[in-house]
Structure 1
Amino acid sequence: MACSFLLVVLLGAVSTAVEVQQPRGVPLSSTAACPNGSFYCVNAGFRSFFIPSSRINDGICDCCDTTDEFNSGAACQNTCRDLGRKEKESLQKMAEVAKEGFLLKQQLIQQAKKGLEEKQTKVTELQLSKKVSEDTVEALRLVKEVAEQPENEAKDRHLKAWEDQQAVVRSEKDKTKMAEAFLRLDLDADDLVSAMELQAHTELDPDSDGMFTEAEAQGLLGGVETVDTVAFETIWSNIKDKYVSEPPTEVPLPEDPQTAEEMREPPPDFDSKPYPDEDIPEEYEDEDQDDDQDDEDQDDDEDKVGPPLPGLEGPSLPWGTHEPAQEDDAQAMPPYEQDTQGLIDVAQKARDEFDEAEKALRAVDDQIKGLEKEISLDFGPSFEFAYLYGQCYDLTTSEYIYRLCPFNRVTQKPKFGGSETNLGSWGSWSGPEDSVYSLMKYDHGTGCWQGPNRSTTMKLICGKETEVMSVSEPSRCEYLMEFTTPAVCQDPGVESNLHDHSEL
């Protein structure tokens, strides 16, 4: 401890032959007994401070009055007066900024308090408006429900009538298709479909193993040899999903030559009579003339088709067309009758009015939540930071555009295009205990590759303007942002008294 109080010890004679000049500074001993000694730079005209004794006579001018290099031969110049003048100018400028900033801060505080009162009043008004809106919504909900009941009943009746009509249409189409299928399957036109004739349609093979046996065909016919049109209705439901109207394959001829010859020759058509020429439309005459050659080539196949079933109307499908076993596309439901449409219009009007009332209620509720959130935020002891809420401030660097939205989040976006990166969302005030409102913490940003989530610490500096001054990344994924605002400017008089006290 004795070394620390040798402030008035001057350099005297030394035991060596080297002559030492008397220094202007006041050194503390740096002998072997006090290896960690200090040297006091008086620096008249500037600020005095201590430097480690190891820096005495090291050839580097540490003291602006040159007293630390009294025996090094370094060409030091006394710059204390210039430094003092520049520091004074800087302090005066800072004092002016602080003074103007503090005046702006007072205005911000007054505006914030007035704004807070207005927001609290607005919340009260909106709460009353919300109650009225809720009553309106409930009343219109009842009107809507009352109007929708007869509407739904009328629409259900209309739908059922249309579905019944469609069912009849589908049934008629199915009967027509069944009759056409019977004609196609009845190759010998004997008004019966046999198991052998059924085998011509291999798509009906029950196990789809490529071998449609007579036993399998007979099984489809219900275990009988042949079925007529009446019995065919029973088995049609079992085969219609697989049936395809395609050219029949050649049916194996029976072993009996006489029977085979009978199958080759079509039976006589005693019921059919030729149409008189005058009953044939001209377009059909032209088509018949153009298709004579084709008809001659297909005579053998056409002769195998028997007469149509009694009561079957409409042209039969030509051989060779593939008709999937599926129902035709459903027709569009016809328009509602006038009475039903009137009920629909009344109900729709009630729905529209109800939707508008609900929308208005949601808007009021959103306003209340937004104001309550804003009022609950910590905007400083005198609400001096309230003016920052809802604002954003940008800083453009050579590579990025940084955006700070106080009490919301911080983002980074490449200057020349690219996706935005979240550098942190509003967390809390994080300054030291004696200056809590000097730092803002934004955390839980976008995660770094194999690293932590990005975060930003915002340092608030007194200034007349509100702007982002700088952004740096002192640690990986941890950003530091300097932000000037009058909200942190203190009363210059109070700061001056504190400064004088610290100097004493």
Structure 2
Amino acid sequence: MHFHMIIVAVFWFGFVDSRKIRGISSSYKRFFRERKSFLCIDGSKIIPFEQVNDDYCDCEDGSDEPGTSACPQGRFYCTNLGFRPHYIPSSRVNDGICDCCDASDEYNSHAHCQNACWNLGQRERAYVEGQMRTLDEGLQLKQQLIEEGVLLWREKQAQLRELQQVAEDLQTKLEERRSRKQEADRLKEQTPRPPEAGDGRLFRGQNSTVTGTFKLLDSNKDGSITVDEVQAKVALVHDEERVLSEDEAVALLGGDHQMDLTTFQHTLWDILTNGGRVKIKDTHGAPGVGEDPPLKVADREWEATNLKKVEEAYDTVNMEISDLREKLAIDYGPDWEFLFLNSQCYKLKVYERWGMWEGPPKNQYGRMVYENGEPCWQGGSRSTTVTLTCGTETALRSVKEPSKCQYIMDFQTPVACQPVLKQRGIHSEL
């Protein structure tokens, strides 16, 4: 009789121990140490320990029945050795369906479940290892893109400086062209009407400005016209071959033997340009005699055309500078790693405009927002949120419309790979 009691006692303690640990995670085992009483984990009630896992719910939080389906709000812990442990609702315990990959939830049912945790864990470990390899390759590609981004940034900065220098040069040239055009317009206003054939005015091709004509007559460039210079350059209209006499020359000089520019403008100049009896001899515009002839019509047209070309070139360069400055003002990431995406198209036409980076604090550049797109029918403007994920290729992976005219895209690119993900490694329980 005593022998049978010992066997029953051993059997009883083994039964209590199995009930005690079933459906319990290691972090909760301290609450289920065998003792005379059990305190509900929420502290609401104390019950005899033999009522734990007795298929009757005594605690309001269901903590006394972790291994049965007695409590509706209870949870059963799947150990799943070799795979990921997790909780299932206690209502699924012994329901004939294997919810734990180690089949621990069907310990007292007719279900025949095989332990699939190792195979599942092996597949997950292979997946995680593949993700780690992708992360390594992605980080290497990201470093290349960072280096390319830095070089491209420097190239654009150098291009901006070159364009600014070109703009400065064009501005200087433009000011010169405008000044020349203004001078040409001024000379055009001062130039008298061309003489008619046979009259006593200056013939076409000779210098017809006051100063130019004065310099043409002033051969020795001493600032005055003398009798000899008048005889050498002025002739009668109807008898050009005859040289004027000294008295005739003195008469043209206003009764004096020389004349300065001021006196010339009010005396001899009027005689030469108002159809008088004398004219300047035809020198055929010989170079070195007087100043350069005034701009002809063709010359003025050439100056105007050239000025227009310089103005167009100046405007074009300024537009390029403005466009380049706008591109350089965009936030391309801390290391310019997103610069390579500028002006790239990945087979998806969108109408939204760039809004902002809207990632979480630990990954600010993990999400892009495009706003103010085309108006949506009976709604606001379209918008798109692009989530960036780590990958070895740059590609658009998915597009969804969770709400009207609000789009979500998954965009894979190496520049989204973060070294911090690699530091986490693979979960030790796998």
Note if contact 1:151-1:344 (Cα within 8 Å) is conserved in structure 2.
Answer: no
Partner of 1:121: 158
- The answer to whether the aligner puts 1:498 opposite 2:424 as a matched pair is yes
1:49-108 CA distances to partner (integer Å, 9 max, x unpaired)?
A: 122223333444321112223344344332212211111111121111111110111111
Q: How does 1:392-431 map to 2 (within 5 A)?
A: 392-394=345-347, 402-403=348-349, 411=350, 422=351, 424-431=352-359
Note if contact 1:46-1:83 (Cα within 8 Å) is conserved in structure 2.
Answer: yes
Give, in whole Å, the separation in 1 of the partners of 2:315 and 2:154.
24
CA positional deviation for 1:372: 1.9
Partner of 1:45: 82
- The answer to whether the aligner puts 1:373 opposite 2:373 as a matched pair is no
- The alignment of Structure 1 onto Structure 2 pairs a total of residues equal to 280
1:227-259 CA distances to partner (integer Å, 9 max, x unpaired)?
A: xxxxxxxxxxxxxxxxxxxxxxxxxxxxxxxxx
CA positional deviation for 1:147: 3.5
Structure 2 spans left out of the alignment, 5+ residues: 1-23, 35-50, 57-63, 195-294
SS at match of 1:393: coil
- The answer to whether the aligner puts 1:439 opposite 2:375 as a matched pair is no
1:411-468 CA distances to partner (integer Å, 9 max, x unpaired)?
A: 1xxxxxxxxxx2x211000111111111000011111111121110001011111111
Q: Give the residue type in structure 1 aligned to 2:98.
A: C
Give, in whole Å, the separation in 2 of the partners of 1:85 and 1:67.
19
- The answer to whether the aligner puts 1:477 opposite 2:405 as a matched pair is yes
Partner of 2:292: none
Counterpart pick for 2:100 among 54, 63, 78? 63
Counterpart pick for 1:106 among 122, 129, 143? 143
- The answer to whether the aligner puts 1:347 opposite 2:300 as a matched pair is yes
Note if contact 1:150-1:343 (Cα within 8 Å) is conserved in structure 2.
Answer: no
Does the C-alpha gap of structure 1 residues 426 and 502 become closer, same or farther in structure 2, counting only changes over 3 Å?
farther
Note if contact 2:134-2:391 (Cα within 8 Å) is conserved in structure 1.
Answer: yes
Does the C-alpha gap of structure 1 residues 343 and 102 become closer, same or farther in structure 2, counting only changes over 3 Å?
same
Partner of 1:389: 342
CA positional deviation for 1:149: 5.7
Structure 1 spans left out of the alignment, 5+ residues: 17-25, 158-341, 395-401, 404-410, 412-421
SS at match of 2:384: strand
Does the C-alpha gap of structure 1 residues 13 and 367 become closer, same or farther in structure 2, counting only changes over 3 Å?
closer
CA positional deviation for 1:141: 1.7
Q: Give the residue type in structure 1 aligned to 2:134.
A: V
- The answer to whether the aligner puts 1:455 opposite 2:383 as a matched pair is yes
Note if contact 2:399-2:409 (Cα within 8 Å) is conserved in structure 1.
Answer: yes
Q: How does 1:269-418 map to 2 (within 5 A)?
A: 343-394=296-347, 402-403=348-349, 411=350
1:199-228 CA distances to partner (integer Å, 9 max, x unpaired)?
A: xxxxxxxxxxxxxxxxxxxxxxxxxxxxxx
CA positional deviation for 1:30: 6.7
- The answer to whether the aligner puts 1:137 opposite 2:186 as a matched pair is no
Q: Give the residue type in structure 2 aligned to 1:356.
A: K
Give, in whole Å, the separation in 2 of the partners of 1:501 and 1:84.
11
Does the C-alpha gap of structure 1 residues 56 and 144 become closer, same or farther in structure 2, counting only changes over 3 Å?
farther
CA positional deviation for 1:343: 4.8
CA positional deviation for 1:13: 7.6
CA positional deviation for 1:133: 0.9
1:122-146 CA distances to partner (integer Å, 9 max, x unpaired)?
A: 3223222211111111111222334
Give, in whole Å, the separation in 2 of the partners of 1:450 and 1:13.
59
Note if contact 1:30-1:36 (Cα within 8 Å) is conserved in structure 2.
Answer: no
Partner of 1:23: none
Aligned residues with identical type, % of pairs: 39
SS at match of 2:375: coil
Q: How does 1:77-96 map to 2 (within 5 A)?
A: 77-96=114-133
CA RMSD of aligned residues (A): 3.4
Does the C-alpha gap of structure 1 residues 475 and 384 become closer, same or farther in structure 2, counting only changes over 3 Å?
same
Structure 2-normalised TM-score? 0.58
SS at match of 1:460: strand
SS at match of 1:390: coil
Note if contact 2:55-2:69 (Cα within 8 Å) is conserved in structure 1.
Answer: no
Give, in whole Å, the separation in 2 of the partners of 1:148 and 1:66.
101
Give, in whole Å, the separation in 2 of the partners of 1:497 and 1:13.
41
SS at match of 2:408: strand
Note if contact 1:59-1:74 (Cα within 8 Å) is conserved in structure 2.
Answer: yes
Give, in whole Å, the separation in 1 of the partners of 2:93 and 2:360.
36
Q: Give the residue type in structure 1 aligned to 2:324.
A: L
- The answer to whether the aligner puts 1:28 opposite 2:66 as a matched pair is yes
Give, in whole Å, the separation in 2 of the partners of 1:57 and 1:49.
17
Give, in whole Å, the separation in 1 of the partners of 2:426 and 2:129.
15
Structure 1-normalised TM-score? 0.50
Give, in whole Å, the separation in 2 of the partners of 1:479 and 1:381.
27
CA positional deviation for 1:376: 1.8
